[in-house]
Structure 1
Amino acid sequence: MERRESLPLTAVDYRKGDIKHQITGVVKPVMQGYKFQSVKEFKALLGLFHVTVEEVHKTIKGKTYHGLVYAATDEKGERTGVAIKSSKIGKSVGYEALQKKFAKSKQWIARHPVPVQTKEVIATALQGQPTRQGFLQELSGKGIAAILWQNDSGVIYGVTYIDHNSKTVFKGSLLGKEYSASVINRKYGTIPPEKTEEAPVIHPSEPEMKEPGLVEGLLDIFSPESYPYPADDLTQSPYGKKKKRKRRGPHLG
């Protein structure tokens, strides 16, 4: 994937132990220094440093509490080791702080368009690189990571760009249609057998599909201990392939 040289922080190595300290060394600088507008963008950014995050919502006596848990991932993006509650790291990386970060980032990005240089670098790589790997590597050498979101059939349905130069995370469609996931998919992905864009099917009665997470029935964030998580219960990488969405809607790219 993206080359290690483009990463300004040190990625977590679960083999070295002291996971809490390592995760703290990634999460705090990322929260302070980068701008991103959603959990998906936050996860994509953390994924570069072998960290993942999940939201936790729990109702106790009629009151709903919200929290975050962080965990290390291996080279394949599969979580490993112990999940760390955000409260163990500090309020600056907790749920409320993250929501405030989204709001501030949205305001900042609205006032500061993506740099022309960044758009030119992406356009040049997209036009000149015939392979996906070449595209990713060229951007990486320029300080930009491209996270391609695809379903099980290999169709790329979203792209997240992480510009380490401006420390900004943004979806491809923010740059314009010529940079979007549909363009990326035509060149580097799999063309779907049937085109459904003209008549999208929406099922309002069906619950929105959740991405595989750290906390699906396993974590009680409000207990005093963190819980170990076996890596074999992760079905998808936090920044690799994703399941097909049940309905069309706003997405990255």
Structure 2
Amino acid sequence: MVAVIKVSSSINRILNYNENKVSQEKAVYLGGNNFPGEAADLSFTARLNYFTRRMELNTNTKRNSLHISLNFDTSEKGLDNKKMAEIAHAYMKELGFGEQPYLLYRHHDAGHPHLHLVTTNIQADGSRIDLHHLGIRKSEPARKKLEEHFGLVRAEDHRNKRAMPQKILQPASYGKVETRAAIQNVLEAVLDRYKYTSLHELNAVLGIYNVRAERGSEGSRMERHKGLQYRILDDNGQPVGVPVKASLFYSRPTLQRLEGKFARNKITGKGQTMHIKNCIDRLEATKKCAGFADVEQALSREGITLVTRRNSEGFIYGLTYVDHKTGTVCNGSSLGKPYSAKGMQERFTLNATAGQTRLPSFELKDRKLDRIADEISLRDPKGSASGIIREIAGVLDKLMAVERAPEYVSKHYTRKRKKRKRRGPLQ
């Protein structure tokens, strides 16, 4: 069993999220605890009002709502609602929330059975339950105790054989699922798992699942007000469908919140880049990769997705590495020159055009002129026309040649300074 605790300042948003799942037949309401009367008989408004009145007892506490998910192994799909509710009640008691009002929802929108619990840390006397390191202090010991008591699959065993997320999470596909729901599924899997330090790095991960975050065009109203929207991409990386504002998602992945993640990840997120470097260095040492496709496939087997950025001509000018094992996302240039786009092309002779090296523009022009001259010479045995073409090419070379102009030096530095006259002694 894996327990995930999220603290929030909006009980309304948490309740709406779970109730919407119920209305969409993607979740089932299993009741609640410590409510006046039967929680199952209370309406949504009554439940929300009860939580709200409890929170009004302590207005100094802003982050007063908890959204907890209990996730079970895929082999435990046989757990019925009664058993899952029993596990949830035991968990809340061990967590120190046994006397708090809480609601239970069983969701069916994932490949594994899981529960969602909604509660508050404000007690009946107005005091608050300390949430500092709640996961380490209370949740982890409770999880281990319940795994043994109920005979559940241990989280440690699940992590050891866990597959990479890109094999479980399917890329968003426009038209198959509601746009907002498809993007939400991708955001839930990506935002908290990966360590990105910019919107560009986040988009490198989202792009794997056909989603992109956009700030709007330069100078637009959305860009001026630091807005953010998400879109689904087609197989060619082009946006399709209507964009969805960040504020409309349950997790509210707005630019302001993401910037906080960017800052934290800059401090803690770049310590696991050695896995990427070691994989690339081993590929170079073994010399098994003859081209770009070979490198991509080899890194993919190591759990690393190589995201390329290409210009309009199809040539690679930037690389981003997404390590699914460690959650690290970084640009090639941040790892060092050998791992940048240019460095990788030099190490593996990578290019977008079947391993050929791109020629400088002036060499391409010379070859084109030579080819034209050769074609004309075949039609003109005397060679008069081809000679003219070659003369034109020579003139163009002279006109385009860079001449070294004499360096200009300001008069301020070339003119001689006047000598100052010495004054005689004062009389």
Letter in 1 for 2:241: G
Correspondence 1:114 to 2:273: yes
Work out whether residues 155 and 185 of structure 1, in 8 Å CA contact, stay in contact via their aligned partners in 2: no
SS state at 2:181 partner: helix
The CA distance in 2 between the partners of 1:53 and 1:59, in whole Å, is: 16
Q: 1:46 aligns with which of 198, 206, 209?
A: 206
More helix by share: 2
The CA distance in 2 between the partners of 1:107 and 1:21, in whole Å, is: 32
The CA distance in 2 between the partners of 1:168 and 1:22, in whole Å, is: 24
**Residue in structure 1 matched with residue 306 of structure 2 by the alignment:** 146
**Residue in structure 2 matched with residue 105 of structure 1 by the alignment:** 265
Letter in 2 for 1:82: V
The structure-2 alpha-carbon separation of the partners of 1:145 and 1:58, relative to structure 1 and needing over 3 Å to count, comes to: same
Q: Which moved more, 1:162-171 or 1:78-87?
A: 78-87
User: RMSD of the TM alignment (CA)?
Assistant: 2.6
The CA distance in 2 between the partners of 1:49 and 1:167, in whole Å, is: 15
Letter in 2 for 1:135: V
**Residue in structure 2 matched with residue 247 of structure 1 by the alignment:** none
Q: Which has the larger radius of gyration?
A: 2
Matches within 5 A, 1:1-253: 6-7=166-167, 9-56=169-216, 59=221, 64-90=224-250, 92-110=252-270, 112-115=271-274, 117-126=275-284, 127-186=287-346, 187-189=349-351, 190-191=357-358, 193=360
Letter in 2 for 1:188: L
The structure-2 alpha-carbon separation of the partners of 1:59 and 1:147, relative to structure 1 and needing over 3 Å to count, comes to: closer
SS state at 1:33 partner: coil
Work out whether residues 160 and 171 of structure 1, in 8 Å CA contact, stay in contact via their aligned partners in 2: yes
TM-score by length of 2: 0.41
The CA distance in 2 between the partners of 1:70 and 1:59, in whole Å, is: 16
The CA distance in 2 between the partners of 1:9 and 1:90, in whole Å, is: 19
The structure-2 alpha-carbon separation of the partners of 1:39 and 1:192, relative to structure 1 and needing over 3 Å to count, comes to: farther
The CA distance in 1 between the partners of 2:344 and 2:212, in whole Å, is: 25
Uncovered stretches (5+) of structure 1, i.e. residues with no partner = 196-253
Letter in 2 for 1:78: Q
The structure-2 alpha-carbon separation of the partners of 1:152 and 1:192, relative to structure 1 and needing over 3 Å to count, comes to: farther
Query: Which portions of structure 1, spanning 4 or more consecutive aligned residues, are displaced by more than 4 angstroms?
Result: 4-8, 57-60
Aligned-pair CA distance for 1:108? 0.9
The structure-2 alpha-carbon separation of the partners of 1:37 and 1:194, relative to structure 1 and needing over 3 Å to count, comes to: farther
The structure-2 alpha-carbon separation of the partners of 1:188 and 1:102, relative to structure 1 and needing over 3 Å to count, comes to: same
Aligned-pair CA distance for 1:45? 0.8
The CA distance in 1 between the partners of 2:321 and 2:359, in whole Å, is: 23
Aligned-pair CA distance for 1:28? 2.7
The CA distance in 1 between the partners of 2:291 and 2:330, in whole Å, is: 22
**Matched residue count:** 188
Work out whether residues 144 and 163 of structure 1, in 8 Å CA contact, stay in contact via their aligned partners in 2: yes
**Residue in structure 1 matched with residue 64 of structure 2 by the alignment:** none
The CA distance in 2 between the partners of 1:16 and 1:50, in whole Å, is: 13
Work out whether residues 53 and 68 of structure 1, in 8 Å CA contact, stay in contact via their aligned partners in 2: yes
The CA distance in 1 between the partners of 2:296 and 2:182, in whole Å, is: 26
Q: Which protein, 1 or 2, shows the higher relative CO under an 8 Å CA cutoff with sep ≥ 6? A: 1
The structure-2 alpha-carbon separation of the partners of 1:149 and 1:55, relative to structure 1 and needing over 3 Å to count, comes to: same
**Cα-to-partner distance string for 1:4-35 (whole Å, 9 max, x where unaligned):** 98545321121313111110011133111111
Aligned-pair CA distance for 1:177? 2.1
| Identical columns (%) | 30
Work out whether residues 144 and 161 of structure 1, in 8 Å CA contact, stay in contact via their aligned partners in 2: yes
Work out whether residues 165 and 324 of structure 2, in 8 Å CA contact, stay in contact via their aligned partners in 1: no
Aligned-pair CA distance for 1:118? 2.8
The CA distance in 2 between the partners of 1:47 and 1:192, in whole Å, is: 31
